[in-house]
A and B are shown apart, each in its own frame.
Chain A
């Protein structure tokens, strides 16, 4: 007997008898003997709850993360504040133990939550339509590139080197499989190189791809990139930080055709990288090219307003090999977390968080420069995250900071050979002045 399996041996025997059988083995007669496993699986013995918690807690305690260290590392995963209610709501079984809302009469909660999520994504991005979410920011970007390929019937994308290196890597993986060429244009002083982008775009370019704020934290010239893309009949895809959109102009107002991004900054814990949630929004004309689930409003037989999965003729379970994507999942529960975050923070809160990030990151930047140990790397304005050039190798600098319980910035030399000794420092609203001052003191030792 196992605690998760309620039928007793007696009940099992009675059930077998009702089938005219005596042994459970008889149910597996269709499985050829030569493919049967004739030994127990090589996994640990069954653990009780007490043993399980002790064992896994010991594994958890071996990690030292943003609880134990003051975190100035970002690079796509940010240590922001999460209101308590987010987790409380996620623990409601009606949300987390439900399946995809294919039976709308008993799934109005999930469906309405997704509708609200789509609406919030549209509000943040300034675009017309959004899907119910995808896995994360990187796969959202890859899906957007494939979507642009389908919409334009073109076979290459031009991506700025200022896009997150891992997002570009995922894009290249998808591109290789789909015979979509991915051209990378190196950065210029921390920004997308507009002149090089213009030269890279060709008549087969499906999309130009930028990230803003980019991997270096720099706010990019999206409207400039839109002109370049549109002049060539290509789309502009922008990967955006949803938190920054409390302050920054929405991509839809800057000529962006598809905006994607990762919802992690909106109340999703660092979680060693996942699960997060990717969002995708687009202009109206691209609706039928959007991958993934979409919820719409309709009415029931009594005329009540109700929510339902719609536009499903784009999707794999209807269209099979002709679907816009193979994606099935949306990361509904994480999308719900971001909706709850945006609900409690609201108009004013999102702006205040974003403003605090600006003030605190500007303070840290100025204080680091004052030490004389760091030089400015790029001139363009940044959001929450900035790059400075260190006199010492970043690996050595970060190793020293660890001894003071500080998780220092990201070492850009890992991904950009031309940016050795360049340090990408993230300062969220959670960092106090005292913590920043501590960083600055210890960074010069």
Chain B
């Protein structure tokens, strides 16, 4: 079934069709009469020509070369690959949502606005914040919106000299990238020997030139920052604000809240803790919540309710401005709303408790054979080091690839950067203990294999549709698009001979 799949372009047959439109029922306008010649295409775009069944077979074949949560365990640390409930797909496809125009009158959009308003309130309670903006499209976009709000707040208070942002050495790459993209100089605070923020170092870095601190809690080691109250006090004491990266919120729902910990701004990844599908890389949603003092700076618009009707409030003079067209990834927000209603308050807490229990259960069983850089109770995820196995000849990458042969998606590897040969496991709450046991068993067997037959591990995987890839070649000889060879029938140009991409980039022709 999983044989190599030609590109859709290589399956094109001139004249084949997969569509039919109704006959044009208005007078035909000749485009060359309507437009000057110099704005019209001389050649059609090189799109494929296939029938409907060709398209169905092609995309079905592609799907069979993928691995999703419905297929099996996906313990990808920091990504919270929990089950995506199917009812949420159904409600997100109701035509009252999908066929609503973003500029239709508010009186025709009351159901949508009500949903947004209520979701805002629910997420504000989950995070301990005053108000949310549901507009950000993803976690990194939420970070951007949140850092913009902090910047606007400082500017409003005449604190333009705050030009630095502190990030931790265990932070997600988006944290320093966002702070830099928002025009800040980033300063890194080191972790202490317990995997938390080094308070002395933080105290030393904090000053009148610092706008704030970005922090994930539990952090990317899966550890709760026990000193969070002191951290908040140091940052606030120096006039800075605290930003909460909500990537790890699946550990804390109903247990503790960023607002209560002292954070001023938080983003949530609805595609993580709130079960909306990852979609192979998006679309997600990254709402932000802020404390009262930052509400005026939230992106515009936000939804308000006057007691009889819901409406967009665009008139927000201190707002950072618009960060996206329209109102965010609305259909993703519908799914998150459905998830919260499915879970209820007890269910959300139960989810976090179970996620944390599952992680500790696995950590306990795996630490017999793998190094644990910070041996503490973990939250919803934990980080192992593959250093012992590396010394035996197999890297963390080898272990990850070997896990594919056992039918699992590997954990996150080589992150966080402060752990050598890091293996970051996040089991989530939607997996039964039988699955956890099977994964533990696979990891222990791989640890055995590393000792007895390292070559077996080093050349894995063996069971996937392709073997390990030459990533250096992809960079050195970049082929980033299909291009039909001149004068050839595309259907004859398919490179099933696998060794080189040359059929797609004939000699003498620039390779893109």
A203 adjacent to chain B (CB < 8 Å): no
Q: Which B residue sits closest to A398, measured CB to CB?
A: B105
B476-511: which residues lie under 8 A (CB-CB) from chain A?
478-483, 495-496, 498-501, 504, 510
Enumerate chain A residues within 8 angstroms of B345, measured Cβ to Cβ: 40-43, 45
The 10 closest A-B pairs by CB, nearest first: A273-B326, A46-B344, A60-B96, A62-B111, A333-B279, A273-B102, A97-B68, A109-B66, A316-B177, A173-B321
- C-alpha spacing A179/B17, complex, angstroms: 50
- Best-surrounded residue of A57, A75, A248, A348 (most CB of chain B within 10 A): A348
| Segment of A134-142, A183-191, A193-201 in the binding face | A134-142
From B18, B67, B83, B501, A343 is in contact (CB under 8 Å) with: B18
B449 adjacent to chain A (CB < 8 Å): no
Enumerate chain B residues within 8 angstroms of A73, measured Cβ to Cβ: 101, 103-104
B236-278: which residues lie under 8 A (CB-CB) from chain A?
252-257, 260-262, 275, 277-278
| Segment of B40-48, B197-205, B382-390 in the binding face | B40-48
Provide 11 A-B residue pairs closer than 8 Å at the C-beta atoms, listed in order of the A residue: A19-B361, A46-B341, A56-B337, A94-B71, A128-B481, A135-B141, A270-B101, A284-B512, A296-B475, A334-B283, A343-B50
Contact between chains at A119 and B254 (CB < 8 Å): no
Contact between chains at A30 and B226 (CB < 8 Å): yes
A350 adjacent to chain B (CB < 8 Å): yes
From B18, B45, B96, A245 is in contact (CB under 8 Å) with: B45
| Segment of A161-169, A230-238, A368-376 in the binding face | A161-169
Contact between chains at A349 and B19 (CB < 8 Å): yes
Contact of A316 with B140 at beta-carbon distance under 8 Å, contacts A81-B21, A336-B280 already known: yes
State the interface size on chain A (CB cutoff 8 A).
Answer: 201
| A93-B69, A321-B180, A343-B47 known, 11 other contacts, Cβ within 8 Å | A24-B356, A63-B108, A101-B281, A107-B65, A107-B67, A114-B281, A129-B512, A172-B321, A273-B328, A310-B474, A381-B34
Contact of A128 with B66 at beta-carbon distance under 8 Å, contacts A42-B345, A301-B468 already known: no
Contact between chains at A304 and B4 (CB < 8 Å): yes
Contact between chains at A108 and B467 (CB < 8 Å): no
Contact between chains at B350 and A2 (CB < 8 Å): yes
Enumerate chain A residues within 8 angstroms of B365, measured Cβ to Cβ: 18
Contact between chains at A105 and B468 (CB < 8 Å): yes
- C-alpha spacing A98/B62, complex, angstroms: 13
Q: Which B residue sits closest to A125, measured CB to CB?
A: B45
Contact of A98 with B278 at beta-carbon distance under 8 Å, contacts A5-B429, A146-B181, A308-B474 already known: yes
Contact of A65 with B108 at beta-carbon distance under 8 Å, contacts A95-B279, A272-B330 already known: yes
Contact between chains at A358 and B29 (CB < 8 Å): yes
Contact between chains at A115 and B283 (CB < 8 Å): no
**A191 CB → nearest B CB, Å:** 12
- C-alpha spacing A125/B385, complex, angstroms: 46
Q: Which A residue sits closest to B258, measured CB to CB?
A: A35
**B292 CB → nearest A CB, Å:** 17
Q: Digit string of A1-44 for contact with B (CB within 8 Å is 1, else 0)?
A: 01111110001101110110000101111111011110011111
From A56, A248, A298, B470 is in contact (CB under 8 Å) with: A298
Contact between chains at A94 and B66 (CB < 8 Å): yes
Q: Which A residue sits closest to B412, measured CB to CB?
A: A102
Enumerate chain A residues within 8 angstroms of B499, measured Cβ to Cβ: 299, 303
A150-170: which residues lie under 8 A (CB-CB) from chain B?
164, 166-167, 169-170
Contact of A98 with B67 at beta-carbon distance under 8 Å, contacts A135-B137, A310-B478 already known: yes
From B280, B341, B469, A105 is in contact (CB under 8 Å) with: B469
A360 adjacent to chain B (CB < 8 Å): yes
Enumerate chain A residues within 8 angstroms of B473, measured Cβ to Cβ: 298-299
B452 adjacent to chain A (CB < 8 Å): no
Enumerate chain A residues within 8 angstroms of B59, measured Cβ to Cβ: 85, 89, 92, 113, 336, 340, 343
Enumerate chain B residues within 8 angstroms of A112, measured Cβ to Cβ: 5, 7, 62, 65
Enumerate chain A residues within 8 angstroms of B46, measured Cβ to Cβ: 123, 347
B419 adjacent to chain A (CB < 8 Å): no
Contact between chains at A41 and B49 (CB < 8 Å): no
Enumerate chain B residues within 8 angstroms of A77, measured Cβ to Cβ: 101-103, 326
Enumerate chain B residues within 8 angstroms of A58, measured Cβ to Cβ: 111
Contact between chains at A66 and B256 (CB < 8 Å): no
Enumerate chain B residues within 8 angstroms of A98, measured Cβ to Cβ: 66-69, 278-280
B348-403: which residues lie under 8 A (CB-CB) from chain A?
348-351, 353-354, 356-358, 360-361, 364-365, 376-377, 379, 400-401
Contact between chains at B480 and A294 (CB < 8 Å): yes
Contact of A93 with B29 at beta-carbon distance under 8 Å, contacts A15-B357, A60-B111, A275-B329 already known: no
